[in-house]
Amino acid sequence: MAWRKIYEGAEPQRVNKWLAGEGVCSRREAEEMIANGLVRIDGAIVEDPGRKIEPGQTIELADGRVAPRISIAINKPVGFVSAQPEPGQVPAARLVTPANLVGRTDVMPTSRTSLAPLGRLDQDSRGLLLLSEDGVLAKAVIGAESNVDKEYLVGVRGQINDRKLDWLRHGLELDGKKLKPAKIDVVEPWRIRFILNEGKKRQIRRMCELVELEVVDLLRVRIGPMWLGDLPEGRWRAITSAEREALLKASR
């Protein structure tokens, strides 16, 4: 068996819900495994997709239970869009080629691989972008209850002063709603570090506009525990299982 664990919850819980909560797979994938006879509880094959696991019972998932879900980190250059492109735009996923790979990967994405962006990074911005077909990871990074923060280095044009920094930290509204507090500090005379726990469309650029600062460069350097590091611009690498687990943990 490829995966085995004792259920230690206080109350019975649906198998698919528990497996998704453990970060093993999505609920839909769990139901697919059950339908294929790949899930056992205390040695007996689970046949009912609505089956609940009881406290103290052991669940086992068979080898080859799910096709690998590809997740990658890419250093997106300016000029590429992270989401579905409009006419004339080029998606960042176009850069995911064997020639641009850094390191190694067990599964190479193909033209049929559906890699969704885990968070926005607009066409005029650059830096760390996560692309994945892993629904559990997507929920952890960009779900409504996610606690994963993002860090940016933002080059600006205009006068930076304490009053503007204070507004950026906790005094602004966008689209009629007050923004969550942000961690803001100046790292160079013209560059500001932003650490955000939300990701509204073009949020940093719009925040800066409200305090009369013009963004001239926006680089995302971190998503939760994952750093851009020395990944060259326009190149990509596979996300490791340890990094996936760290992202899941950071979201809780």
Residues marked active site are found at 122
Give the residue from 109, 30, 73, 115 showing the smallest Cα distance to 227: 73
In whole angstroms, how far apart are CA 240 and each of 90, 134, 151?
A: 27, 13, 20
Beta carbons within 10 angstroms of residue 186's beta carbon: 13
Strands 214-223 and 126-132: parallel
* Token pair for 133: 């077909």
* Token pair for 109: 């994405």
In angstroms, rounded to a whole number, what is the distance separating the alpha carbons of residues 222 and 227? 4
Phi, psi of 20 (to 5 degrees): -65, -40
Query: Taking the alpha carbons of 109, 115, 119, 124 in that order, is the dihedral positive or negative?
Result: positive
